[in-house]
């Protein structure tokens, strides 16, 4: 079955540590996205990538970094510079000009 | 700037009653419009989408939505709600990125639906 996988489902880290969230898709989609979801704030775009080896900042990119070395993979690193990293992180992908499909999400807790 | 407003943060309906969730958008061109549903702790599932053509669109799970350009609205409806419809619903407007690759989605804040037995 085609789809988007995110791992792990739950992630716990100490303050000051970088952490990398995985996102893999086997839908052969060109575009991939990372969103952050906080209660009562909907989803906000962190980074997006339209093709391999290229990505752009979204609305809240500060404290995050990404890479796109393969079409199938778009990992997100939450760095120690992110002031409020505890959130639910969602990865999505799409064909050009089409709807986005979402993964199941990773809940990150930083204490 | 583009924006999406879902005026109702929380709605409660009785099982079997009809449902309408409101969505208003602000966008300078013809928008791409979406409704997604999210169960607690899960990802988002696409309910339906509007790209062009017929302004009444049908989606999965018996949902439909109507695009009204004059009112800048894209309200979601269901004639008879089931207990399993309890979830959070997000309206989104899509803006074309450069090179016409992919969509930037702008989401509303969501409407939480509770269903009374």
Residue A103 has pLDDT above 70, yes or no: yes
pLDDT of A22-45, one tens digit each?
A: 999 999 999 999 999 998 778 999
Give chain A's radius of gyration (CA, Å).
Answer: 13
Q: Do A96 and B100 touch (CB under 8 A)?
A: yes
What confidence category does residue A105 fall into, taking pLDDT thresholds of 50, 70 and 90?
very high
Size of interface A-B (CB pairs under 8 A): 69
In chain B, residues 41-70 whose CB comes closer than 8 Å to chain A? 41-46, 49
Taking the CA atoms of residue A4, residue A10, residue A16 and residue A22 in that order, the dihedral angle to the nearest 10 degrees is -20
Rounded CA gap, A40 and A57, in Å?
23
pLDDT of A81-90, one tens digit each?
A: 999 999 999 9
Q: Do A45 and B41 touch (CB under 8 A)?
A: no
């Amino acid at each position: 079955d085609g789809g988007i996988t995110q791992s792990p489902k739950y992630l716990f880290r100490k303050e000051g540590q970088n952490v990398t969230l995985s996102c893999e898709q086997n839908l052969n989609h060109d575009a991939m996205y990372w969103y952050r979801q906080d209660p009562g704030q909907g989803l906000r775009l962190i980074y997006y990538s339209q093709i391999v080896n290229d990505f752009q900042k979204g609305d809240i990119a500060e404290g995050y970094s990404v890479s796109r070395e393969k079409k199938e993979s778009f990992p997100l690193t939450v760095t120690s510079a992110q002031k409020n990293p505890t959130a639910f992180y969602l990865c999505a992908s799409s064909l050009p000009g089409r709807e986005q499909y979402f993964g199941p999400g990773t809940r990150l807790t930083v204490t | 700037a583009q924006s999406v407003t879902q005026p109702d943060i929380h709605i409660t309906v009785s099982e079997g009653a009809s449902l309408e969730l409101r969505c208003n958008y602000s966008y300078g061109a013809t928008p791409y419009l979406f409704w997604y549903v999210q169960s607690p702790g899960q990802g988002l599932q696409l309910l339906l989408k509007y790209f062009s053509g017929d302004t009444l669109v049908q989606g999965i799970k018996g949902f439909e939505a109507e695009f009204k350009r004059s009112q800048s609205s894209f309200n979601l409806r269901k004639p008879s709600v089931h207990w399993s419809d309890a979830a959070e619903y997000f309206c989104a407007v899509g803006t074309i990125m450069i090179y016409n690759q992919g969509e930037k989605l702008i989401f509303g804040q969501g409407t939480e639906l509770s269903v009374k037995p």
